[in-house]
Amino acid sequence: MDGSRYDYVIVGGGSAGCVLANRLSADPGTRVLVLEAGRSDYRWDVLVHMPAALTMVIGNPLYDWRYVSEPEPGLGGRRVAHGRGRLLGGSSSINGMIFQRGNPLDYERWAADPGMETWDYAHCLPYFKRLETCGAGADDWRGGSGPIPLERGPATNPLCGAFFGRVPPDHRRERLPPGGLQRLRPDHPLGPTGLGRPCLCAPGEGAAAEPHRAVPLPRAPRPARG
């Protein structure tokens, strides 16, 4: 650092920090500094950018804070490993790329608290849609022009086909928002549970799709206004 002054200092260049930095610095008159404790997400680092290398970064001190829980009474006093990303991109640089919205019923419950009325699922849905570009195309529940491309997990193993083949059609979740629609559309025959292939952040050209790349941290200073 060179003694420069900033309008915002963001501590932590993880998922939230990078998205915030991107949005704030879109205003050319705003100077934003992101401080990240871990390493950079170097382009050459295949362990970060290759989805299949997930198991090599989790638990690795170069990429993971390697937290452990307190002794868990419900687990016979065992401590449980709790990975958190320690590099640019944070946990999204070491995560499983599964793109799963919360259960709509959780949003309804939050919205029931005083002052939280606009956190119900119907209010949040437009923001979810703005975030994503669904590979199967946009519809009432999925976005078509957001920064994060989505795809369905291939689930090509014959066992997956046999398993899903036994799921009653009413409980399949291929086009529907995760978590079901019951509270949004009380007349809908579907409940809030179901089975289907997971929705994933689509890896572009073999690389892991970290949200901080989809909504990138500006690498070079944006030009100052005036």
Ligand X SMILES: Cc1cc2nc3c(=O)[nH]c(=O)nc-3n(C[C@H](O)[C@H](O)[C@H](O)COP(=O)(O)OP(=O)(O)OC[C@H]3O[C@@H](n4cnc5c(N)ncnc54)[C@H](O)[C@@H]3O)c2cc1C
Contact residues toward ligand X (CB under 6 A) are: 11-17, 35-38, 58, 83-86, 90-92, 94-98
**Which residue is at the shortest CB distance from ligand X?**
14
What pairing do the DSSP bridges indicate for beta strands 32-35 and 8-11?
Answer: parallel
Q: Which is nearer to ligand X, 35 or 136 (CB)?
A: 35
CB of 21 to ligand X, least distance (A): 11
CB of 218 to ligand X, least distance (A): 17
Give me the sign of the Cα torsion angle 25, 35, 43, 14. negative
Q: Which is nearer to ligand X, 25 or 95 (CB)?
A: 95
104-111 vs 121-131: helix crossing angle, rounded to 10:
130
C-alpha span between 112 and 104 (Å, rounded) = 13
Which two three-digit tokens encode residue 80? 């449980």
CB of 85 to ligand X, least distance (A): 5
Q: Which is nearer to ligand X, 62 or 136 (CB)?
A: 62
CB of 194 to ligand X, least distance (A): 18
Q: Which is nearer to ligand X, 38 or 143 (CB)?
A: 38
Contact 168, 160 (CB under 8 A): no
CB of 113 to ligand X, least distance (A): 22
In terms of Cα–Cα distance, which of 100, 177, 183, 111 is closest to 140? Answer: 177
Q: Which is nearer to ligand X, 82 or 188 (CB)?
A: 82
Which two three-digit tokens encode residue 18? 């990078």
Q: Which amino acid is at 67?
A: Y
